[in-house]
Homo-oligomer: A and B are copies of this chain.
Amino acid sequence: MYYGPGRINSQNRKQMKVIYLYLIMMSFMVGAFSQAEHRGQKIDTPGKIEQWNVFELILQGPTDGNPFIEINLSAEFTNGDRKINVTGFYDGDSTYIVRFMPDTVGLWKYITMSNNVKLNGKKGEFTCLKPSSGNHGPVRIRNTYHFCYEDGTPYYPFGTTCYAWAHQGDALEEQTLQTLRSSPFNKLRMCVFPKYYSYYDKEPVYYPFERDASGKSDLTRFNPVFWHHFEKRIQDLCKLGIEADIILFHPYDFGRWGYDKMPPEADERYIRYAISRLSAYRNVWWSMANEAMFMDKPDDFWDRVFHLVLEADPYKHLRSIHAPKKDEGTYPITHSSTLSMNPKVALEWRQINRKPLIYDEVGYEGNAAGSWGSLPPQELVSHFWNGTMLGGYVGHSETYLDPNNILWWTTGGVMHGDSPVRIAFLRKIIEEGPSEGLNPVYVNLFPWYRGGTVLTAGKEGEYYLYYLGYSQPAELYLALPPGGPYSIDIIDTWNMTINRIQGEFLGVSTIKSLNTPWEWEGMVKIQMPGKPYIALRIMRVDRP
């Protein structure tokens, strides 16, 4: 047995070894921890692993035939009465791996099962320690519509999208990580399969399957080099505190590689392989597809994919599907991952599904051809605020044209836009809001204006955030919700200023008109900037 840092190749390949591995490249860890101590995974003491880090059992086994399909390997991990079955995978070069993410502190024992005698019945144990600071575990649902890490720490998703960033080669990928490091984004949508679409026609550096000289894929053989690289990028994101929203299928192939049109048995092998390799990383989310409606799949295809993922993933990571033909709520999603910004529809989904709502695609800041990729930054930031008002979370990306087709949306790289800094501003406001998350609250803020009830994001009696969009009033008459006293902040979401109106203000319990149609008892008149993109924040002065 060998305990040590780094990925260790066997000194004697004939001997079977059990190795506790540090999953994270040391070179990145130093940087990550010095900048953000709460991010990423901590180095484990040999024989010990911290909660929600990855325990990796590495075995040597047969190479003859096709191990990818002929050898099965799993392990049962036991902690007290609990038993968890985890599937391993062939990593090429006679190496077999079982990865496991322990979710409970204490002693864990394991035993392997395999149809190959060399891989079967291997036993061992390790101690799971408390997580280090910054390791909060995988993200889960809380309060029906919101998220938290498994340790209960609130998680407010502020996502971006770089579909093919992990297929770009190290130089650009390192730049992407550098960009993300100082960005407001804590979730990244990314595809397993390479992408072929507008503004991008490059081949990926690595392919997920073995290919022959003519470029034909052998769908029965995975390419470990691809997967080593891909999972390294998942870990890089984890170190930055970024959830990897992994897109299993997408339609951006157009016959180039055929990954969108594999036979069912290849799809299933692919899903199982991906899950056996990736699910032990705590920052993994599963997005079954991007723009599923454009994929030519039979009606029950996505049901089967969800079923497989649910069955194969021992950790039950978050699951979603982006833009299927059917209502996404008909699948066993953990949260909605919508393409739309239609507020009415979205609110209905939230209400019907009773699940968190992430507007993963509301269009991108940029100047590409196509309405989805040509939003002015003002519009994208507006979408973020509007989605927040609906009790949801909005996703970002960027599509500014580039002579070398380096568009953040596909390749990563650097961001050129004006929205991220404003999204950071919003994220800070959300993080300083009620810890349980913001829900839609209807408040009769403007009784003098018929239909004066507006949708705010807030917590009844305590906190209300109201976004005015492009309205540019120079004054407002407010009837504050019953209770208080409240403070009133005028938030300029574009110029990123927060101005508190002097004074504390009581709520209005009885809405009553006085002499004129716009004079109401207890109303507060406030001066407004007369500019668009303003929000009001009304907080009970003594809120916790």
Task: Tell me the smallest distance from the CB of A68 to a CB of chain B, in Å.
Answer: 31
Q: Is the CB of A367 within 8 A of B197?
A: no
Q: B198 and A530: CB pair below 8 A?
A: no
> Using Cβ atoms and an 8 Å threshold, which residues of chain B touch A172?
none
Interface residues of A in 441-457 (CB under 8 A from B): 446, 448-450
Interchain CB contact (< 8 A) of A376 among B254, B477, B532: B532
Instruction: Tell me the complex Cα distance, A468–B473, Å.
Output: 26
CB-based contact A367/B446 at 8 Å: no
Interface residues of A in 115-161 (CB under 8 A from B): none
Q: How far is the CA of A201 from the CA of B517 in the complex (A)?
A: 10
Check if A465 is an interface residue, CB within 8 A of chain B.
no
Give per-residue flags for A359-378: 1 if the beta carbon is below 8 A from chain B beta carbons, else 0: 00000000111111111101
With A196-B517, A198-B518, A516-B201 given, is the CB distance from A374 to B446 under 8 Å? no
CB of A351 within 8 Å of the partner chain: no
What count of chain A residues pass the 8 Å CB interface test? 41
| Residues in B neighbouring A376, C-beta threshold 8 A | 470, 472, 532
Q: List, in ascending order, chain B residues with CB within 8 A of A528's CB.
A: 369
Q: Which residue of the partner chain, among B367, B450, B472, contacts A530 with CB atoms under 8 Å?
A: B367
With A254-B517, A517-B254, A532-B376 as known contacts, state yes or no: A367 contacts B198, CB within 8 Å: no
Taking a contact as CB atoms closer than 8 A, the residue among B197, B254, B370, B473 that contacts A369 in the complex is: B473
B-facing residues in A463-512 (Cβ within 8 Å) = 468-477
CB-based contact A473/B367 at 8 Å: yes
Is the beta-carbon distance between B370 and A446 smaller than 8 angstroms?
A: yes
CB contact under 8 A between A475 and B369, given known A197-B517, A450-B294? yes
The proximity string for A residues 186-216 relative to B, scoring 1 for CB distances below 8 Å and 0 otherwise, is 0000000000111101000000000000000
Q: Assess whether A424 is interfacial by the CB under 8 Å rule.
A: no
Q: Mark A527-544, 1 if CB is under 8 A from B, else 0.
A: 010101000000000000
**Inter-chain contacts of A473 with B (CB < 8 A):** 367-370, 373-374
Chain A, range 324-371, C-beta contacts under 8 Å to B = 367-371
- Which one of B371, B471, B516 lies within 8 Å of A468 (CB-CB)? B371
Report A416-453 CB contacts with B as 1/0, cut-off 8 Å: 00000000000000000000000000000010111000
Q: In the complex, what's the smallest C-beta–C-beta distance from A348 to chain B, in angstroms?
A: 15
Interface residues of A (CB under 8 A from B): 196-199, 201, 252, 254, 294, 367-376, 378-379, 401, 446, 448-450, 468-477, 516-518, 528, 530, 532
Q: List 30 A-B contacts (CB under 8 A).
A: A196-B516, A196-B517, A198-B449, A198-B518, A199-B518, A201-B516, A254-B517, A294-B450, A367-B472, A367-B473, A367-B475, A368-B474, A368-B475, A369-B446, A369-B475, A369-B528, A370-B446, A371-B469, A371-B471, A374-B468, A374-B471, A374-B472, A374-B473, A375-B472, A376-B470, A376-B472, A376-B532, A379-B470, A401-B474, A401-B475
